[in-house]
Amino acid sequence: MTFRTPGRPRDAEAQRRGRAPRRLTAAAGAAVLALATTACAGGNGGYLGGGGDGGLIRASWGDPQHPLEPANTNEVQGGKVLDMIFRGLVHYNPETGRAENAVAQSIDTEDQRNFTIRLKDGWTFSDGTPVTAKSFTDAWNYGAAGENAQVASYFFQFIEGYDEVHPAESGARPTARTLRGLHVVDDHTFTVRLTRPFSLWPQTLGYTAYAPLPRSFFEDHDAWLAKPVGNGPYRIDSYQPGQRMTLVANEDYAGEDKPRNDGVELRVYTDNNTAYTDLQAGNLDLIDDVPAARLGNVENDLGDRYVNQPAGILQTVSFPLYDRDWSGRSAAKVRQGLSMAINREEITSRLYHGTRTPAGDFTSPVLGDAGGYRADLCGDVCAYRPRRARELIEEGGGLPGGHVTLTSNVDTGSHRQWMDAVCHSINNVLDDSDACTVNPVPTFADFRNRISQRRMTGMFRTGWQMDYPLIQNFLQPLYYTNGSSNDSGYHNEEFDQRIDQANARPTQREAVRDFQEAERMLVDDLPAIPLWYQNGTAGYSERLSNVRLNPFSVPVFTDIEVS
């Protein structure tokens, strides 16, 4: 350091001043020494550079929001891992999105309400214990019980007895410990009784909340959480929470989609821009979310190693139908007018570089035509019709108070840009620069609080990422009276009846037809305006091939090959 003058005698003045200078130099010297030793000690171990990790796929990851329990995970980062280490009764084909039997041998019903589930032989958890009927019922009972406070527990609400283990009223004690509707017949058979007919229910069972759990989950919960054990194509080799997780192929995996690679190393990135830069530098093999700011250059940077394909995500804006200004027939006309005033084509192409496509119904293209997707179901209401928009808003009595706001949180997801664009489009059509204004809310939590407390007064952002690829999932939770995500407070008895009817239909074709009838009612009432379908994006390094995303915009890890 600059203070040092080694090898020279101290002058008299410095000595009179006392020992201060020496102490300072000594401290500085010690600091340098400390820096040097830690630098050496840190030199071995840690990350290896590009290509040194054998067959492991180095992929980006985000810190999961909740502990890694199947029924306690509702976001994509935790879901990504659970999807790798668990297989449920059914599994969604990554290509078609259709539910195919995985652990289930058969799921039979006569009346769409009582189901008999038979399991295949030979499935084991990666700790060697067998997957039995009890693995499922125990897991479901755990997920449903109110006292376990699992965020995805409402998935079990269809099963009879849910109210007893998970009472809704405040202060109520559960009157049962297990779901009355579950009954183990033998090691490989159990029956399920639902509260009402639901023909598509077996197809919902691919959701991670329905995964089986080994005994170790219940016997030593903390140890299990530190290193979760499942029955999926991969098993966890090491896990440093908040930093990284190494998954290796599970040799005893009984499913058909065996991994075509040795394993995956998930690395936590705090900012997906850094992950993108790391991919460019060759330190990372796979990112499953190209940051919005890089979309403009991504084809230059990655060429054909960029993936952009539809995902089951629909962006909408909803209206507070509980507000007197927005209820009634004339308000529906205003809502339709607003929908026609939004130029979806222009916004998606300018802002999103082809990673969003204008929405024409209330579902998603990943459902396919057989699954109930109809690109033109919404018709003119979801198209850009400036003149008709003005007419409809006029007929409906104009905007309430001559003004509408568009509210969303702005802390994540670059929402500000599209909100500005939507308002701009509406203002242009109405030729009034103050007709629509953006109302940004600083945090997501605050925004969701306002919605759940029904304090909205104008349009607000609502998005829906499907839980399972069924048209039911795009309609019932969102628009059924008191549905779990019915944020607009939509209530239409005819719609509810249609949904009930659809759920009781024995075949998917008939069910889908009823769901689409119900969907048409939404176009008339328009509790929410469909904006655009969201795609999933990914980018990968030259080491990988056969990379694609499933309908949930998660990479199909088992198919990836490493060279």
Partner 1 sequence: MGRYLLRRLVQMVPVFTGATFLIFLMVYALGDPVTALFGDRGPDPATARALRAEFNLDKPLWEQYLRYMGKIFTGDFGTAFNGRPVTELMANAFPISFRLMLVALGLEMVLGVALGVLTGLRRGRALDTSVLLATLVVIAVPTFVLGTTAQYLLGVELGWIQPAVSPDARLDELLLPGLILCLVSLAYVTRLTRTSVAENARADYVRTAVAKGLPARRVTVRHLLRNSLIPVVTYLGADIGTLMAGAIVTERIFNIQGVGYQLFQGIVRQNSPTVVGFVVVLVLIFLLANLFVDLLYAVLDPRIRYA
Q: Taking a C-beta distance cutoff of 8 angstroms, is the pair 422, 317 a contact?
A: yes
* Residue 146 CB, nearest approach to partner 1 (Å): 5
Please pick, from the candidates 15, 30, 33, 38, the single residue that binds partner 1 as defined by CB under 8 A.
38
Please pick, from the candidates 462, 472, 503, 537, the single residue that binds partner 1 as defined by CB under 8 A.
462
Please pick, from the candidates 26, 30, 54, 65, the single residue that binds partner 1 as defined by CB under 8 A.
65
Binding to partner 1 in span 208-227, by CB under 8 A: 225
* Residue 357 CB, nearest approach to partner 1 (Å): 20
Three-class secondary structure of residue 452 per DSSP: helix
Please pick, from the candidates 487, 496, 514, 519, the single residue that binds partner 1 as defined by CB under 8 A.
487
End-to-end Cα, the chain, rounded Å: 49
Q: Taking a C-beta distance cutoff of 8 angstroms, is the pair 519, 367 a contact?
A: no
Binding to partner 1 in span 67-96, by CB under 8 A: 67, 74-75
* Residue 309 CB, nearest approach to partner 1 (Å): 22
C-alpha span between 86 and 198 (Å, rounded): 25
C-alpha span between 42 and 110 (Å, rounded): 65
Burial class (CB in 10 A: 0-12, 13-18, 19+), 504: middle
C-alpha span between 558 and 224 (Å, rounded): 24
- Is residue 465 at the binding interface for partner 1, with CB under 8 A as the rule? yes
Q: Taking a C-beta distance cutoff of 8 angstroms, is the pair 179, 191 a contact?
A: no
C-alpha span between 478 and 103 (Å, rounded): 30
The smaller minimum CB distance to partner 1, of residues 20 and 128, is found at 20
* Residue 133 CB, nearest approach to partner 1 (Å): 26
Q: Which stretch binds partner 1 (CB under 8 A): 258-266, 268-276, 326-334, 335-343?
A: 268-276
* Residue 59 CB, nearest approach to partner 1 (Å): 13
Q: Taking a C-beta distance cutoff of 8 angstroms, is the pair 425, 435 a contact?
A: no
CA 533-539-544 angle, to 5 degrees, is: 130
Binding to partner 1 in span 105-164, by CB under 8 A: 146-151, 153-154
* Residue 157 CB, nearest approach to partner 1 (Å): 9
Burial class (CB in 10 A: 0-12, 13-18, 19+), 306: middle
- Is residue 46 at the binding interface for partner 1, with CB under 8 A as the rule? yes
C-alpha span between 273 and 279 (Å, rounded): 10
The full 3-state SS of 527-561, as one line of letters, equals CEEEEEEEEEEEEECCCEECCCECCCCCECHHHCE
From its phi and psi, is residue 43 left (phi > 0), alpha (psi between -120 and 50) or beta? alpha
Please pick, from the candidates 108, 256, 446, 494, the single residue that binds partner 1 as defined by CB under 8 A.
446
The smaller minimum CB distance to partner 1, of residues 19 and 403, is found at 19
Binding to partner 1 in span 297-336, by CB under 8 A: none
The smaller minimum CB distance to partner 1, of residues 300 and 412, is found at 412
Binding to partner 1 in span 271-290, by CB under 8 A: 271, 273-275, 277-278, 280-281, 283-284
The smaller minimum CB distance to partner 1, of residues 20 and 401, is found at 20
Binding to partner 1 in span 416-445, by CB under 8 A: 443-445
The smaller minimum CB distance to partner 1, of residues 123 and 239, is found at 239
* Residue 283 CB, nearest approach to partner 1 (Å): 5
Q: How many residues at the interface with partner 1, by CB under 8 A?
A: 79
Binding to partner 1 in span 169-198, by CB under 8 A: 170
* Residue 226 CB, nearest approach to partner 1 (Å): 10
- Is residue 49 at the binding interface for partner 1, with CB under 8 A as the rule? yes
C-alpha span between 74 and 82 (Å, rounded): 11
H/E run at residue 415? helix 415-430
H/E run at residue 190? strand 189-193
Please pick, from the candidates 26, 30, 63, 350, the single residue that binds partner 1 as defined by CB under 8 A.
63
Please pick, from the candidates 168, 296, 329, 387, the single residue that binds partner 1 as defined by CB under 8 A.
168
**CB neighbourhood size of 285 (10 A):** 26
Please pick, from the candidates 6, 39, 296, 563, the single residue that binds partner 1 as defined by CB under 8 A.
39
In the numeric block, the tokens 């396919």 are attached to 368
Binding mask 373-412 for partner 1 (x = CB under 8 A): --------------------------------------xx
The smaller minimum CB distance to partner 1, of residues 103 and 287, is found at 287
Please pick, from the candidates 269, 373, 480, 490, the single residue that binds partner 1 as defined by CB under 8 A.
269
Q: Taking a C-beta distance cutoff of 8 angstroms, is the pair 434, 399 a contact?
A: no
Q: Who's near 333: CB < 8 A, 6+ residues apart?
A: 392, 393, 395, 396
